[in-house]
Amino acid sequence: MQLLLVYFIWWSVFQHQQEVFGYTTASIVTYILVAALLRAVVLGTRVTDLIDKINSGDVANFLVKPIGFIRFYVTREVADKLFNIIFFIAEVSLLIFLLKPPLIIQTEFANLLLFSLAIAGGLIINFCLNFIISLTAFWVENSWGPIFLMSILLESLGGGLFPIDILPKALFNILMLTPFPYLIYFPAKLYLGGMSFSEIAFGFSVIFIWGVILIFLTKAVLHAGFRHFSAVGN
Amino acid sequence: MDPVISVNNLKKYYQVHKKEPGLWGGVKSFLNRKYLDVKAVDGISFKINEGELVGFIGPNGAGKTTTLKVLSGLLYPTSGNLSVWGREPFKREKQFQTQISLIMGQKNQLWWDLPAMDTFILNKEIYEVGKQQFEDTLSKLSKMLEVGDILNTPVRKLSLGQRMKCELISALLHSPKVLFLDEPTIGLDVVAQQNMRDFIKEYNQEFKATIILTSHYMADVKELCKRIIIIDKGVIVYDGLLEKIIEKFSPVKVLKVDFEKEIKPEKLKEIGKVEKFSKNFAQISIEKDKISEKTAKLLSEFAVADLTIEDPAIEDIVREIFETRQ
């Protein structure tokens, strides 16, 4: 539904123009479809149900058992993503079949490799961000607010609705230092190709640094959370 | 032999914030939050040997469950040392976690929509129990608990008693050496309570398991535990044999008398403290060292049809301990 909406907005923009913000009809349509794929694969997480588990005290059931806490959630996340991808393929096949839009099919191996690498980085960042915020439930009574706020940030600043390089240059440069654009915008751009080597190198460096910081933070917060845990509700 | 569980000066404090009622109270507590330390467990020490079955009793909020949670590695102690099977619970090492089981009567671990069997298989994988061992333990436990045909019914369709049995099986499939049972008989009817007690006793003997049991029902403790630990307001009030508690805490004996005819209760006051009285029956508590003197006096002054001298009921002693500590 959201995919259709975004698709038709851009469709009407391109009714009278061949090129907008340096994007052609084919490249913007491809961007939108790839972004939708990335939303299904990268965004969207079920880690957040940890919040309810912590609030109700059910998380205790886990803590007494020999289960790797992070490993459990990573495994479930992967299963969930596979599920999402199946639905995505069905949805997009239907769309392509009905609307027959112009598309760019990337065949360059290097681009596809970089695209996959960026997705892997995005997955780690998204998982850690959601996990850390969910873990705050150990301290505060309601963590859904921050989760909601972050999902909006990820959607908009991450490039789910539009490619963020159409924003003013200064804002764009600042955004590229945050983790958000690396979930959708950056991999989608890699798929389209045409980025310079320095842009790509810069992007992966930022992913790497954020990845390290967030993984470290996740472990630290988890550890602190266990210490603070009071196993409420008997 | 080293004790299986050893606890030394364990403390667990919770921080709770206070809020005055109402919206304005909410704003005030948001701007200037006041915290209160709740001393759930305040410096307790004890040792438990292998194969012991110890009863943990105390009123609501005494710190029983908190102690069990700290012992099973759920909670981080505020201070103090503890070891269970030579390991610190809070580190939650695999070698520790596969040795213990925490069973809470008010909390279920079974998958609500699936038959209990599915949870069992999941637990088999989590605890890495071999196929043969799994089947042996399962058939042994099902026989002891007389389940069998309910294992393939979705848990939501089971009665509370049946569910508790399945809970027990799922918590015991990995043959834990140490068991923490928190109110295992809560909410069960008398028959189911008795079944549960029989099972706990049998399990303790058959598997040489070390068990700590908390309960509100003195009947549970009386039947199962030789040793009890009484805890109140986070400190241990008594730790020792169940039968010794009478000696220690109760300086009185209870005299139950049937009289041949109706008498006036006022006259009994010289004998001792009248606790119950009805027409021609009286229950009188008398200090131990005066028991023969007072009984003689009673026999000489009244026409007595029947008379027994008993120790006070453990329930009464425990209640008195808690009440005098208020």
Q: Where are the domains of chain A?
A: 2-228
Is residue B301 predicted with pLDDT exceeding 80?
yes
Chain B CA closest to residue A72: B126
Residue B112 has pLDDT above 90, yes or no: no
Per CATH, is B5-246 categorized as 3.40.50.720? no
Residues of chain A with pLDDT below 70 are: 1-2, 230-234
pLDDT digits (tens, 9 = 90+) for B197-232: 888 998 898 888 999 998 877 788 888 888 999 888
- Give the residues across from B210 on adjacent strands: B178
- C-alpha B176/C-alpha B208 separation (Å) is 10
Q: Residue A109 is encoded by which pair of tokens?
A: 């191996």
Helix (H, G, I), strand (E, B) or coil at B9: strand
Chain A neighbors of B104, CB-CB under 8 A = 234
Burial, A36: exposed, middle or buried (Cβ in 10 Å; 0-12, 13-18, 19+)? buried
Query: How many angstroms separate the CA atoms of B143 and B145, rounded?
Result: 5
Domain ranges for chain B: 5-246, 251-310
CA distances B199 to A121, B130, B151, B186, Å, are: 53, 24, 18, 15
* Inter-chain touch A63–B94, beta carbons under 8 Å: no
Residue A227, judged by CB atoms within 10 A of its CB (0-12, 13-18, 19+), counts as exposed
Tokens of A58: 């059910």
Contacts by A97-102, CB closer than 8 A, 24 or more apart = A99/A7, A101/A7, A101/A29, A101/A33, A102/A25, A102/A26, A102/A29
DSSP A107-143: --HHHHHHHHHHHHHHHHHHHHHHHHHHHGGGTSS--
Answer yes or no: is pLDDT of B1 > 80.
no
- Residues B246, B312: contact at Cβ < 8 Å? yes
What distance in Å separates the CA atoms of residue A50 and residue B110, rounded to the nearest whole number?
Answer: 18
pLDDT of residue B326: 64
- In this predicted model, what pLDDT tens digit does every residue of B161-203 receive, in sequence order? 888 888 888 888 888 989 999 888 887 888 888 888 888 998 8
Q: pLDDT tens-digit profile of B127-142? A: 888 899 999 888 888 8
Nearest CA in chain A to B171: A65
Ramachandran area for residue B115 (φ above 0: left; ψ -120 to 50: alpha; else beta): beta
Say how far apart CA B123 and CA B103 lie, in whole Å.
Answer: 14
For position A234, what pLDDT does the model report?
38
Q: Which residues of chain B does A226 touch, with a Cβ-Cβ cutoff of 8 Å?
A: 76
Task: Note whether B235 and B44 are within 8 A (CB).
Answer: yes
Query: A65–B126: do the CB atoms touch at under 8 Å?
Result: yes
Which helix (H) or strand (E) segment holds residue A23: the answer is strand A23-24
- The count of CB pairs under 8 A between chains A and B is 42
Asked if pLDDT for residue B105 goes beyond 80, the answer is no
Predicted confidence at residue A169, as pLDDT, reads: 86
Domain B251-310: give its CATH code: 3.30.70
What is the reported pTM? 0.78
- Reduce the DSSP state of residue B175 to 3 states and report it: coil
Q: pLDDT, tens digit, for every residue of B243-264?
A: 888 777 777 888 888 888 887 7
The SS3 assignment for B19 reads coil
pLDDT digits (tens, 9 = 90+) for B15-74: 777 777 777 777 777 777 777 778 888 889 999 999 899 998 888 878 888 898 899 888
**Which of B75, B101, B109 minimises the CB distance to A229?**
B75
- Other CB atoms within a 10 A radius of the CB of residue B12 amount to 23
3-class SS at B172? Answer: helix
Distances in Å between the Cα of B222 and the Cα atoms of A90, B211, B314 are: 64, 15, 8
Chain A CA closest to residue B111:
A61
The answer to whether residue B7 neighbours chain A at the CB level (below 8 Å) is: no
What is the model's pLDDT at position A204? 93
